[in-house]
Structure 1
């Protein structure tokens, strides 16, 4: 069953600025010739993405009360969607521009020995994001878009704005 799966790159990103960053990355970078699939909460995705899987955001940044329920639902949906993806495809790499919805897929990709690349959000200039704090330890390569963030993530690579 798993022997003849198609190799893909998994893009994990959220709405708004996270979607804009992954769009810039796809437009400005030559990401192999492998198919791209997305695990995202965004409605509109880049035309080069072959297939989209929906995932909830890991938290509601406007309501602390809802966060426990939203996080539990996110974990269930993220794991279920990742199982759908890994039974259909062989994920050889994951690229994420955040937000927190990247954490569970990042862990699962590392378990499957897929390379994980994470870009800390360009909106982070002085303070690390919660997702970034986790993904710094999960990812194989961690990139920051502001030089000032190198102080918070000493092993990160500075790439400038996507």
Structure 2
């Protein structure tokens, strides 16, 4: 139950009865191609059935992650896969990535307003930034408090990723997997290697 342990470590618990669908916590997960998918799937292996259904969000050009999610969830609880435009392509210029991120936010807002998740769990892809901003807007508008839980990739040993630097400021819970990052970022929570 690694995800629940992460949340319990920071004092956030969601009481849920598996028999009462209205009380089930809604979990939104941002998944991206490659190592990010592997890491989030490792975190998901331990997620309680109380987090049902799970709503995955992937970039509209990402077929590989969709296949992995379907294989992972095959014998598990109900899930959905939602798509939004990618926030930033590899080697995309900074100036044009602002425009593409705003476009992704345009798709993220109605998605989060419809799903109203209790938690957004993400681990590094830029696609999670507009999702987290949309989640924060739900809270600002008084519609629902969405807990933003960010787990920095295990590959980040000395510095945070660009997504990590952004979500360090916006997340409720920010986990790192190396002591060196915890020492540099006081808000970061270190519980050892998580994936």
Q: Given the two structures, how large is their TM-score scaled by the length of structure 2?
A: 0.70
Aligned positions, number: 155
Task: Tell me whether 122-131 or 75-84 shows the greater mean CA deviation.
Answer: 75-84
Unaligned runs of 5+ in 1: none
Q: Which residue of 1 aligns with 2:182?
A: 150
User: Which of 85, 94, 99 is matched with 1:56 structurally?
Assistant: 85
Describe the shift of the 1:30–1:132 C-alpha distance in structure 2 as closer, same or farther (beyond 3 A). Answer: same
Structure possessing the higher radius of gyration over alpha carbons: 2
**Gaps (5+ residues) in structure 2?**
1-21, 139-144
1:133, 1:75 → 2: CA distance? 18
More strand by share: 1
Q: Residue 194 of structure 2 corresponds to which residue in structure 1?
A: 161
Displacement after TM superposition at 1:16 (Å): 0.6
The residue correspondences of 1:3-152 to structure 2 (distance < 5 A) are 8-30=26-48, 32-41=50-59, 42-43=62-63, 44=67, 45=69, 46-47=72-73, 48=76, 50-64=79-93, 68-87=95-114, 89-112=115-138, 113-152=145-184
**In structure 1, distance between residues paired with 2:51 and 2:117:** 14
Per-residue deviation at 1:99?
1.3
**Aligned-residue CA RMSD (Å):** 2.3
Deviations 1:74-121, CA, capped at 9 Å, x for gaps? 42133224303422x221111001211111111221222211100111
**In structure 1, distance between residues paired with 2:109 and 2:79:** 16
Structure number with greater CO (CA < 8 Å, separation at least 6) is 1
Give the conservation status (yes or no) of the 8 Å contact 1:93–1:114. Answer: yes
Q: Distance in 2 between matches of 1:53 and 1:120?
A: 22
